[in-house]
Amino acid sequence: MKWQTVSGVAQRKLRLVLIAKDIELRIVSLIVRAREGAEEVILLDLGSSDSTAEYAEEVGCTVLNFNQDITVQSIASFLLDGNLEPIDSTLVLSITDQWKLQDLPLAMNRAREIWDVHLSHQVDETETDSADQLVLSSVNLQHLVLTQAGMEALAYLGPMARAVELDESLRVRIVPARKSVRVPQRESLATASRFAQLFYWMLESKHPLLLFGIPGIVLFILGYKLSGDVIGTLEELNSTSIGVTLATIAMTLVGLFGIMVALILYIMGKQVEQIQSQYNWPTRE
């Protein structure tokens, strides 16, 4: 097995395999993030009805159709028959609605450890079966790490095989996951205050939220305050009182319109910026 040495430390080459369906809103950011620590990313599509496969292909990810039951044996057999280049370690992730992007670094760290088979599966609090007697095809897969030897061993097991039937020469670890591990994150002063973070971003990017939102709020508050004073003060109905009243109402409506425009432009700008950064679209003249 060939290892790449970086600064005197052996680093294993990693292939990341994603098993997912209908995650078009998450697939691009997931692939981009995964490439920061993996040499290759592959998507096993479970028959998505949306644009998941198309989006993955647009960012250069290999997409394979996986129509089998999600078991460790079927996954290992499918990857073994896929004529993929041998690699030090393969990390298989099952992407569900409960899976979070912040769980990716922890799973990739597990893949850097020296295990031929490292299986993490979700269990209920009441389950007490030992790992040796676990039927591999019945596990609710969370992540699976395989070397070439581990992949071959799992691929040749029967559908009702138990963990104890794996070759004793293999380095095997089976971990039940009862709850997601949350790595504590350090928080700076900028991120501690959401308002400070938003205000700094507005000043830095010169977003329309700053150009329309603040004037809109000022006009709305002034118009609302003046409208109450004008209606209570002007007792005589004439052209002057009507003009002043209409002016205060117009100020209030203009302020409200400015607030709405600012929010709409903020949301649209955020979405456009995210899509452009994900797909690296060229600017159209």
Domain count, the chain: 2
Asked which of 152, 177, 202 is the last residue of a domain, the reply is 177
How far apart (Å, rounded) are the C-alpha atoms in residues 85 and 94? 22
Q: What percent of the chain has pLDDT over 90?
A: 10
Q: For residues 122 and 242, state if they share a domain.
A: no
Asked which of 150, 177, 204 is the last residue of a domain, the reply is 177
Q: Which residues pair with 117 in a beta bridge?
A: 146, 172
How far apart (Å, rounded) are the C-alpha atoms in residues 216 and 262? 8
- Residue 215 lies in domain: 189-276
Q: For residues 88 and 126, state if they share a domain.
A: yes
| Summary mean pLDDT of the chain | 76
Please write the tens of the pLDDT for every residue from 115-125. 888 888 877 65
How far apart (Å, rounded) are the C-alpha atoms in residues 124 and 147? 28
Residue 151 half-sphere exposure toward CB, CA atoms < 13 A: 21
Whether 184 maps to a domain, the answer reads no
- pLDDT (mean) for 178-200: 56
- Burial pattern 179-216, b for ≥16 Cβ within 10 A else e, equals eeeeeeeeeeeeeeeeeeeeeeebeeeebbbbebbeeb
Q: At what angle do helices 239-279 and 27-34 cross, to 10 degrees?
A: 50
Q: For residues 109 and 129, state if they share a domain.
A: yes
- pLDDT (mean) for 205-233: 69
Q: How much is the pLDDT for 45?
A: 93
Whether 227 maps to a domain, the answer reads yes
Whether 283 maps to a domain, the answer reads no
Whether 1 maps to a domain, the answer reads no
Instruction: Please determine, for residue 183, whether its predicted confidence score (pLDDT) is greater than 90.
Output: no
Whether 4 maps to a domain, the answer reads no
Q: For residues 66 and 157, state if they share a domain.
A: yes
Residue 280 — very low, low, confident or very high, per pLDDT cuts 50/70/90? low
Q: For residues 154 and 218, state if they share a domain.
A: no
Please write the tens of the pLDDT for every residue from 7-58. 333 467 889 999 999 898 889 889 998 998 899 999 999 999 988 999 999 9
Residue with tokens 């959401």: 194
User: In terms of Cα–Cα distance, which of 35, 36, 31, 38 is closest to 12?
Assistant: 38
Is the whole model's pTM more than 0.75, yes or no? no
Whether 65 maps to a domain, the answer reads yes
Whether 99 maps to a domain, the answer reads yes
**What CATH number is associated with residue 137?**
3.90.550.10
Please spell the DSSP secondary structure of the chain, one letter per residue: ---EEETTEEE--EEEEEEESS-TTTHHHHHHHHTTT-SEEEEEE---SSSHHHHHHHTT-EEEE--S---HHHHHHHHHTTTPPP-SEEEEEE--TT--GGGHHHHHHHHTSS-SEEEEEE--TT----STT-BGGG-EEEEEEE-HHHHHHHHTS-TT-BGGGS-TTS-EEEEEESS---------HHHH-HHHHHHHHHHHHT-HIIIIIHHHHHHHHHHHHHHHHHHHH--S-SHHHHHHHHHHHHHHHHHHHHHHHHHHHHHHHHHHHHHHHHHTPPPP-
Whether 182 maps to a domain, the answer reads no
Q: For residues 193 and 147, state if they share a domain.
A: no
Q: For residues 253 and 113, state if they share a domain.
A: no
Q: For residues 37 and 105, state if they share a domain.
A: yes
Q: For residues 128 and 196, state if they share a domain.
A: no
Instruction: Please determine, for residue 285, whether its predicted confidence score (pLDDT) is greater than 90.
Output: no
Q: For residues 137 and 216, state if they share a domain.
A: no
Q: For residues 172 and 95, state if they share a domain.
A: yes
Q: For residues 83 and 203, state if they share a domain.
A: no
Q: How much is the pLDDT for 3?
A: 41
Strand-strand pairing, 89-94 and 140-146: antiparallel
